[in-house]
Structure 1
Amino acid sequence: MTYLPAFRAIVIREALRFVHQRERFIAALVRPLVWLLVFAAGFRAALGLSITPPYQTYITYETYIVPGLCGMILLFNGMQSSLSLVYDREMGSMRLLLTAPLPRWFLLFSKLCGATFIGVLQCYAFLAIAWAFDITAPAIGYLTVLPALVLAGLMLGALGLALSSFIKQLENFAGVMNFVIFPMFFLSSALYPLWKMAESSELLHDICAANPFTHAVELIRFALHGELSPSALLWTGIAAFVFMALAIWGYDPARGMVRRKR
């Protein structure tokens, strides 16, 4: 009975923090909209797209990058959520949370769920704006994409938790974010198909194929068209488990990084 109130309190705290930071919501939407409405206009003529699953016909470039931009929203949201952990640790509130009489993995998972909930809401807001610009998906896709967004959000949020356990100071977080976010985003299928990357370099294609963010994007892409990609589901789930295990280890005062920072 003590788990549910604690879970609810942590999730509500994350939601209230997000509500009070309106700039964060605006920035989360402006970033993908710039790619969708500005960059896509230039790439449309330069990048030809063939018929590849889950698409049954030729599509516009704007349609192709929508799943990748949803992944971008979840990626940045996961990193920003982990930034709040570093801030809380410096201010001392994180120590109070971790000393609660509950398993540490449960506290971290509750915070992860709160961050994922916020990221999913941001994705649906972005999909609604894209729909207003006539960049749509099948109607059933807006329902079937929900589990994919949740799993991708958990995976990317767990990555942020793992990174936050290794960051000692708030000032160092920006550099770590750039070192992780941009390689993960650009070395993926978010902006261009993997077969396009293979035409340029087989090595880059292999790196993109091994990128967990690629599998998260493909999971969202197939789900947005009412289909399931078993391989993307498998690798996204494995990555989420590995990142969460690493985060739990990092916040374990007996073995992880938190003990070394005190």
Structure 2
Amino acid sequence: MQDAALKTPAVAAPRSEARHGVLHFLQALRAISLRELLKFSQQYGRLVSALVRPLLWLAVFAAGFRNVFGIAIVEPYDTYIPYEVYIVPGLIGMVLLFNGMQSSLALVYDREMGLMRLLLTAPLPRPWILFCKLFATALLSVLQALAFVAVALLIGTELPVFTWHAFPALLAIVAGAFMLGALGLLLSVHIKQLENFAGTMNFVIFPMYFISTALYPLWKLQEAGADWVYQLARLNPFTHAIEWIRFAIHGKDPGIAPWVVLGCAVAFFVLACWGYDPQRGFGQLAKRGGGGPP
């Protein structure tokens, strides 16, 4: 009995430490997420700008192009649809893409001002700190995307969102937000100064968006003879994120799109964690003041 009594505290101690460690991890996730949400709630123009861009496409360009782009009866549609219905998934992707890229700009700013350096020196694994930042970015992206969908419904866009299809579509939006947020995290490794973000816009955001199925279907590109654009659009992970959302909204099988999106999300995040390691990363952040000791 005495031996059992002596062994009990030794067994309970690791369990208590493990429980405390899990709580510490969750506290970090909660603190970083709440910080980003609070900062976002004080930036009213950020939400407005995030909604104006896709709503401009929806209200103006879709009306002008309604008779220019004839959307044939192809998957995932069962009948002819107006152009504004087709581009809504692409505009949701636009919200996710721009917020994910804007997060990389915020990370560069935090790194220059020292906030990111302080976070990276916290007594937590570096990948977990970066995951917390990624989680906060994805959360903001999803909230902005849902706000856009609500406004799109208010202006009369017909979307089957009040069915069970909404749940797979929400899952697709969340996965797309994580993938694009992880891409923004990876880009922040290489962007040394805020002035370089304009190059990111020109060489990453715009090509990724326009060489995709966000604004026109792949068969239109192939029909027009733009084979190289067609092939690039097929390889673009943003295309698969859009197609997953589009097929999920209409309750159809998205094929390999979920696997491409999830695989790219994991790959981007792993590469970002590698890049934020000051001992071996791509950017060697420690040499330019972007990372603290491991």
Larger Cα-atom Rg: 2
Instruction: Report how far residue 178 of structure 1 moved.
Output: 2.5
Superposed, 1:170-249 pairs within 5 Å as 170-200=194-224, 201-249=226-274
What's the offset of the Cα at 1:241?
Answer: 1.1
Match of 1:143 among 155, 163, 167: 167
Match of 2:183 in 1: 159
Post-superposition, which runs of at least 4 consecutive aligned residues in structure 1 deviate over 6 A?
none
Aligned counterpart, 1:259 = 286
Residue type matched to 1:217 in 2?
I
Deviations 1:181-237 (CA, angstroms, capped at 9, x unpaired): 100000000000000011221111001000000000001111112333131101111
Give the structure 2 partner of residue 59 of structure 1: 81
State the TM-score, normalized to the length of structure 2.
Answer: 0.87
Q: Does the alignment pair 1:73 with 2:95? A: yes
Offset at residue 249 of structure 1 (A): 1.0
**Shift of the alpha carbon at 1:111?**
0.7
Q: Does 1:102 align with 2:124?
A: yes
Letter paired with 2:147: A
Q: Displacement of 1:245 after TM fit?
A: 1.1
Give how far 1:49 is off.
1.0
- Establish whether residue 93 from structure 1 lines up as the match of residue 118 from structure 2: no
Amino acid at match of 2:249: L
Shift of 1:41: 1.4
Residue 29 (str. 1) matches residue 51 (str. 2): yes
Question: Quick one: distance in 2 between partners of 1:41 and 1:172?
Answer: 35
Unpaired stretches in structure 2, ≥5 consecutive residues: 1-22, 290-294
Letter in 2 for 1:85: L
Amino acid at match of 1:121: L
SS at match of 2:62: helix
Q: Distance in 2 between matches of 1:235 and 1:96?
A: 34
In 2, Cα distance between equivalents of 1:188 and 1:205: 8
Residue equivalent to 1:132: 154
- What CA distance in whole angstroms lies between the structure 2 residues aligned with 1:230 and 1:58? 22
SS in 2 for 1:135: coil
Figure out how many residues of one structure are paired with residues of the other and give that number: 262
Q: Evaluate the alpha carbon distance shift between residue 173 and residue 187 of structure 1 in structure 2; reply closer, same or farther with a 3 A threshold.
A: same
RMSD of aligned C-alpha atoms? 1.0
1:115 shift after superposition: 0.8
CA distance in 2, matches of 1:12, 1:228: 35
Q: What CA distance in whole angstroms lies between the structure 1 residues aligned with 2:172 and 2:30? A: 23
Give unmatched runs, 5+ long, in structure 1: none
